Amino acid sequence: KKRGFDCYGVELSKYTSQKALEKFPKRIFNGKLEQSKYPNAFFDVITMTDVIEHITDPNAFFKEIKRILKKNGLILITTPNTDSITKKFMTQNWFQYKEEHVIYWNAKSINYLMNQIGFKILKFKNNNKKLTLRYYNDYFDKYPSILGKIFRGIFKSLPNFLKKKSFLNPLTGEILVLAKNY
């Protein structure tokens, strides 16, 4: 919004939708995208950060994205990457294996889907996130692991200013995809 975009959102959670409506009145749809009834060719850009791993029918979902996205419109996707270094290192203990993730992606599978639906991939890259150490501590509390146990032990002894400091993490295990509707 600060950069001039006319922002809308789709959110499944009623609570989160209500919170978003405070910032974007009449711009948040509570429910599934396929139920939102946005007009054809309505959006210039659609972002999906940490979304597609939760979608049970990606073909239907992306057909709806294609319908509501303008020709030459862009989509930006982030999702866990099964070809990531963290996945290869952690194997079956990968921190992205979660009950709520119903499908997993990598460059090959996303490329296949995008070609089927009619999107052209412009960029694939490792997704870097800037997160605080407190975020990691809370994350490891919610999703326990051996790595988390070690981190949480160290975290307790850190000074508060470090706990609140943000760091760029290239090992999120996620892929960032930019694609164009053609």
Helix (H) or strand (E) holding 67: helix 58-68
| pLDDT score, position 143 | 78
On the question of pLDDT at 124 being above 90, the answer is yes
Task: Output the pLDDT for position 53.
Answer: 97
What pLDDT score does 74 carry?
Answer: 98
User: What does DSSP assign to residue 91?
Assistant: G
Q: Angle, to 10 degrees, between the axis of helix 107-117 and the axis of helix 58-68?
A: 50
In the chain, % of residues over pLDDT 70: 100
Mean pLDDT across the chain: 93
Q: What is the pLDDT of residue 171?
A: 80
The token duo for 104 is: 């997993």
Report pLDDT digits (tens) over 48-64.
Answer: 999 999 999 999 999 99
Tell me how far apart the alpha carbons of residues 78 and 176 are, in angstroms, rounded to a whole number.
Answer: 5
| pLDDT score of 38 more than 90 | yes
Q: Are 142 and 80 a contacting pair, CB within 8 Å?
A: no
Whether 133 has a pLDDT exceeding 90, the answer reads: yes
